[in-house]
Structure 1
Amino acid sequence: MVERGTALLNKMEINVTEAEKRTGKNTVNMQETYTVYLIETRPAETVQEGGTPAIPDTLWRRYSEFELLRAYLLVTYPYIIIPPLPEKRAEFVWHKLSADNLDPDFVERRRVGLENFLLRVASHPVLSNDKILFCFLTEADSRLKSLSAMFRVKNPDKRFTALKHYSEELNTVIAQLLRVRVRVADRLYGVYKVHGNYGRVFSEWSAIEKEMGDGLQSAGHHMDTYAASIDDILEEEEHYADQLKEYLFYADAVRSVCKKHELIQYELEMAAQDLAHKKQQKEELATGTVRVFSLKGMTSKLFGQESQEQREVRLAALEQSIREGEEMVKEKNTECQEFVRTAWADIERFKEQKDRDLREALISYAIMQISMCKKVWGHALSKLSSVVS
């Protein structure tokens, strides 16, 4: 088993090695086609020693099982920003690529995303020690749970309110960026393919030129190659788009932490409100005055006041209830403070991870674009120079 305080990834190699299409009946006894993913795990020590790697343990999981695992982690660790899953359905996809959920390219990208999800969870200092996660990776039958709640607090924490607004803005910005990328990819595809006309024209031109014929023919072949290269370029870009999508889903994970804080804050406010109501009842019972209209007060006026003995019994019960209420408020207040402390520590960790990952992704994207342009136009320059020289 996993040792406390030790990241699971330090003790186990985790890979999602392949995907397989299957057909079967769902919960309503209807035929459906779905995809399963093969998870392979092996002890990391055997690999590090340099010997023959151990035969990996394997099991198949559906995407829905990954969803259950993440839902369980959201409930069990509400103060942690849970890594997101890759998209279940193809979104923000350049329309020349298939949006079919069973398309091999989409399934492969999702396989990579699921592996990345497991690696992020298994390397997290807290999540990696979870027993259910270990069972998910090693046992065919793992039981997971889910939970959701909706509520409204009176005095929300400004820090978490700002964080929720930031996560919503991050979601909006990345979604807009992905939409722009789709439009740019579509237009770029058209521009590249139009260059195929240059290839045809250069080839026809070469037939009537004696001295420049070979150079024009070569330039025409290059333009054909240039027109065809857009497919590889856009496929390479999908990798960077997937990295942006991961943080699109991370924004949902941040909002989940904010919602859990609201739930704890709501429970604290309800406990404090209940305590205040009981203290008011005690004061009214002790003084014999009723500040607000109540059925109990009207009954007393109609049928007479309670006896001293009855009032003492009620007063004692209220005092006991107040002591329990004060203990409850203290407990909820401690829980809220602990949640803020642990959650904010993980939020700071997430911010550093986000800044690092997005910086690397955007720099790598720029380098890829520069490299592609140099490769394509550098070769074109040499060919066109040979034509005019």
Structure 2
Amino acid sequence: MSGTIGEPTGPPTQANAMAADISGQMLDLDEDEDLEVFSKKASLTDGSAFEFEEEDDSDCKDIFVTVDNPESHITAVETFITYRVLTKTTRSEFDSPEYEVRRRYQDFDWLRGKLEEAHPMLIVHPLPEKFVVKGMVERFNGDFIETRRKALHKFLNRIADHPILSCSEDFKVFLSAQVWELTSYKKQGPGFLSRMGETVRAVANSVRGVKNRPEEFAAIQMYVEAFSNKITNLDKVTQRIVKEQKEYMEELKEYAPSYTLWSGSEEELVGPLKGVASCIERCCKETEEQVNQLSDTLVPSLHEYALCSETLKAVLRRRDNIQAEFEAKNEALATRKVDQDALKEDIGKLEDRMELANSALKVDWSRWQRCMRGDLKTAFVSTAQKNVDYYEKCLAVWETFLVSQRTEGCEDADPDQLS
């Protein structure tokens, strides 16, 4: 696999050049309020406007969320897990500074759907898969539940750290409403026919496609495709390595006792055999820590961004849908003799909508890149440090064994031969 993550390949077209340069474009994050609005001073649907400053998580964070304490629930109809969601905040729109509620996976899924619906040009990070992830045999075993809990915790904190998504009324309700209140709130959403109509229109637009995608978004599209291919491959290989390391660790656990048993029948080799057994046991312990680090740090980061690449593709498709509708209206205006005024009005609205959607995507794209690079760099550095520690400790174990054997060899040697 050549190149770096997300680096587009191919002939040096203008889009390629822009894609290669995207990493240097660090735009100030501006905000939006609905489908279209996302600029430094955005006129909202209610006529108000607001402006956001540059993010500073260390000083300005005013909402903290923790997901913990999973509990199993068994009913006559289903078995499911709920998680405690603890929130501490200083925001004035909340009635209390602290909340404690319980949520199940489908509640998290509902929240993500509402955020995407309200802010289709923002990059909402993915949830862990609904069904059993690869390597998990039992859906409700301890490892699976803990893996999901960590992913849900990260998901909510992604939202809490986002200057627009964290202000969503749906997010506030999710964090603060009791179960019956949340159930009632969910029922206030758009009806099935409305959702179906939006879906049909989106599909029609995506089939029609766009003719003149701006070079900037063509570059982003190429970047996302390259990023998706590489991060997905890294995710699969890393999960396979972790699986093989776990199998190796289980073999080591069986390996050491064999040397100990052998020492019982070899009086002349008792010391070396027990020494080897001890070294293997210590290396097994270090291997377990290394596997845990990979499982807890590197695998979740790679897997999250592998899933996130699909989210990016969906956001780009939604942007293209708006442009496709705009182009279709322009074509209709050129060929139809009637309804000219109505078409011009529609085209004007679509042009504004497309401009605002482009602005929204560009600033959130820059924010996402900063976040992604920081997360992956942290995971890579942590993994590298753990690997260095692992191999140094294992090397020290075996070097100590060698020194002990050489010392014993000198003590057992014939004094006359030594002289």
Q: Distance in 1 between matches of 2:132 and 2:226?
A: 22
Q: Encode CA deviations 1:66-123: one digit per residue, 9 max, x unaligned.
A: 1111111112112211122123233343xxxx33221111111111111111111111
Q: Distance in 1 between matches of 2:80 and 2:171?
A: 23
Answer with 338-347 or 225-234: which moved more: 225-234
Q: Distance in 2 between matches of 1:135 and 1:364?
A: 36
Q: Specify the code of the residue in structure 2 equivalent to 1:59.
A: V
Provide closer, same or farther for how the CA distance between residues 215 and 254 of structure 1 changes in structure 2, counting only shifts above 3 A: same
Question: 2:314: which partner in 1?
Answer: 256
Q: Distance in 2 between matches of 1:154 and 1:343?
A: 17
**Conserved? CA contact 1:5–1:129, under 8 Å:** no
Question: 1:352: which partner in 2?
Answer: 370
Alignment of 1:1-389 (within 5 A): 5=52, 10-24=61-75, 31-44=77-90, 56-93=98-135, 98-140=136-178, 141=182, 142-143=185-186, 148=199, 149-150=202-203, 151=206, 152-157=208-213, 158-195=215-252, 196-197=254-255, 200-201=258-259, 204-205=262-263, 208=266, 213-214=270-271, 216-227=273-284, 229-239=286-296, 240-278=298-336, 281=337, 318=338, 321-389=339-407
Question: 1:312: which partner in 2?
Answer: none
Provide closer, same or farther for how the CA distance between residues 55 and 228 of structure 1 changes in structure 2, counting only shifts above 3 A: same
User: Taking every aligned residue pair, what percent have the same amino acid on both sides?
Assistant: 21
Question: 2:27: which partner in 1?
Answer: none
Matched residue SS, 2:120: coil
Q: Distance in 2 between matches of 1:186 and 1:114?
A: 23
Offset, 1:209: 5.1
Offset, 1:202: 6.3
Q: Distance in 2 between matches of 1:241 and 1:255?
A: 22
**Conserved? CA contact 2:115–2:170, under 8 Å:** no
Matched residue SS, 1:100: coil
Using structure 2 for the length normalisation, give the TM-score.
0.70
Using structure 1 for the length normalisation, give the TM-score.
0.75
Q: Specify the code of the residue in structure 2 equivalent to 1:139.
A: A
Matched residue SS, 2:368: helix
Q: Distance in 2 between matches of 1:4 and 1:103?
A: 46
Q: Encode CA deviations 1:264-291: one digit per residue, 9 max, x unaligned.
A: 112212221222233xx2xxxxxxxxxx
**Conserved? CA contact 1:192–1:230, under 8 Å:** yes
Q: Encode CA deviations 1:183-204: one digit per residue, 9 max, x unaligned.
A: 3334434444555536533663
Q: Specify the code of the residue in structure 2 equivalent to 1:260.
A: R
Answer with 145-154 or 363-372: which moved more: 145-154
Bigger radius of gyration among the two: 1
Q: Specify the code of the residue in structure 2 equivalent to 1:115.
A: H
Q: Distance in 2 between matches of 1:159 and 1:77?
A: 21
**Conserved? CA contact 1:215–1:387, under 8 Å:** yes
**Conserved? CA contact 2:293–2:383, under 8 Å:** no
Offset, 1:262: 1.4
Provide structure 2 residue ranges, at least 5 long, that are not aligned to the other structure. 1-49, 408-419
Offset, 1:378: 1.3
Matched residue SS, 2:130: coil
Provide closer, same or farther for how the CA distance between residues 206 and 378 of structure 1 changes in structure 2, counting only shifts above 3 A: farther
**Conserved? CA contact 1:206–1:214, under 8 Å:** no
Q: Distance in 2 between matches of 1:190 and 1:154?
A: 49
Matched residue SS, 1:16: strand
Matched residue SS, 1:369: helix
Matched residue SS, 2:75: strand
Matched residue SS, 1:17: strand
Matched residue SS, 1:61: strand
Provide closer, same or farther for how the CA distance between residues 350 and 55 of structure 1 changes in structure 2, counting only shifts above 3 A: closer
Q: Distance in 2 between matches of 1:60 and 1:204?
A: 54
Q: Encode CA deviations 1:317-345: one digit per residue, 9 max, x unaligned.
A: x4xx3223222212211211121122111
Q: Distance in 2 between matches of 1:189 and 1:39?
A: 32
Provide closer, same or farther for how the CA distance between residues 199 and 225 of structure 1 changes in structure 2, counting only shifts above 3 A: farther
Provide closer, same or farther for how the CA distance between residues 4 and 64 of structure 1 changes in structure 2, counting only shifts above 3 A: farther
**Conserved? CA contact 2:259–2:273, under 8 Å:** no
Provide closer, same or farther for how the CA distance between residues 124 and 55 of structure 1 changes in structure 2, counting only shifts above 3 A: closer
Instruction: Count residues with an aligned counterpart.
Output: 329
Provide closer, same or farther for how the CA distance between residues 160 and 55 of structure 1 changes in structure 2, counting only shifts above 3 A: closer
**Conserved? CA contact 1:161–1:258, under 8 Å:** no
Runs of 4+ in 1 over 6 A off after TM superposition: 6-9
Q: Distance in 2 between matches of 1:99 and 1:5?
A: 46
Q: Distance in 2 between matches of 1:60 and 1:74?
A: 23
Q: Distance in 2 between matches of 1:36 and 1:119?
A: 18
* Greater RCO, 1 or 2 (C-alpha within 8 Å, sep 6+): 2
